[in-house]
Amino acid sequence: MKNIILIAAPAAGKGTQAKMLKEKYNYAHISAGDLLRDAAKVNDETGNYINKQLKDGKLVSEEIMFDILKKRITQADCKNGYILDGFPRTLEQAEYYEELIKTLNYDLGLVIFIDVLKSELERRIVGRRICEECGFIYNINFEDQKPSNDNLCDKCGGKLYQRSDDNKDSFETRYQTYLNMTKPLIDYYENIGVLHKINGGINKETTFNSITTIINK
């Protein structure tokens, strides 16, 4: 079993890669953003708070994030390995996570940093469209990732939507948060010898090949 942590800026392709890895290796896919988007649907104080943080492109408090993460990684499907997509995003989260896996007797596993230029990220963010039925991700700014029918999924016919934080303003906030809070994790994991850096700027297949080469070593 190899647990995998994916670290990258917003829209670098963590979610897409995690889905592809899940299919190939049957690991559980734990997306911090998806867990929070689900929690934001609950119409109570916590749900409304999460909803606002997501819209503004700001991180959700550690207390809430830890609680949600702990519940998820202790579920049965995580026992055979999992991919963490979007967690940890701060040094405090990384430290919390290490304490948590010690108590659960889980491996830290591999940490993979997917490197993509900011200009490319912005182009991906504003064009991203997601199927509300099957979760498949399209991009209207790239010929090879466009749906053939503007607002409908080619795979299942579901309606496509745009995330409320996939716009230029939220992207700027999210990118600055990434530089200030998440990038320090790269040095942190490099220092403990678990970091693998790959180029995520070509296409999803090339990125996937780089990741599977690391996993299969």
Give catalytic status of residue 174 as yes or no: yes
Binding-residue pattern over the window 2 to 31 for ligand AMP, x denoting contact by CB under 6 A = --------x---------------------
Check binding of 189 to ligand AMP (CB under 6 A). no
Query: Given the complex with ligand AMP, which of 52 and 79 has the nearer CB atom?
Result: 52
H/E element, 137: strand 137-139
Query: Given the complex with ligand AMP, which of 27 and 96 has the nearer CB atom?
Result: 96
Q: Which of the following is catalytic: 14, 19, 72, 129? A: 14
Check binding of 125 to ligand AMP (CB under 6 A). no
Query: Given the complex with ligand AMP, which of 150 and 179 has the nearer CB atom?
Result: 179
Q: Which of the following is catalytic: 19, 89, 124, 129? A: 89
Distance CA 195, CA 217 (A): 14
Query: Given the complex with ligand AMP, which of 165 and 196 has the nearer CB atom?
Result: 165
Distance CA 199, CA 208 (A): 10
Between 91-104 and 62-73, two packed helices, what is the crossing angle to 10 degrees? 30
Distance CA 90, CA 180 (A): 9
Distance CA 55, CA 1 (A): 36
Could you give the strand order of the β-sheet that contains 160-161, starting from the edge strand earlier in sequence? Answer: 137-139, 128-131, 160-161
Give catalytic status of residue 89 as yes or no: yes
Distance CA 205, CA 181 (A): 28
Binding-residue pattern over the window 63 to 82 for ligand AMP, x denoting contact by CB under 6 A = --x-----------------
Interface residue with ligand AMP among 7, 9, 28, 32 (CB under 6 A) is 32
Give catalytic status of residue 129 as yes or no: no
Check binding of 40 to ligand AMP (CB under 6 A). no
- Output the furthest CA–CA distance in the chain (Å, rounded): 49
Kindly state the smallest distance separating residue 33's Cβ from ligand AMP, in Å: 2
Distance CA 84, CA 6 (A): 6
State the residues that interact with ligand AMP by CB under 6 A.
Answer: 10, 32-33, 36, 53-54, 57-60, 65, 86-87, 89, 93, 165, 174
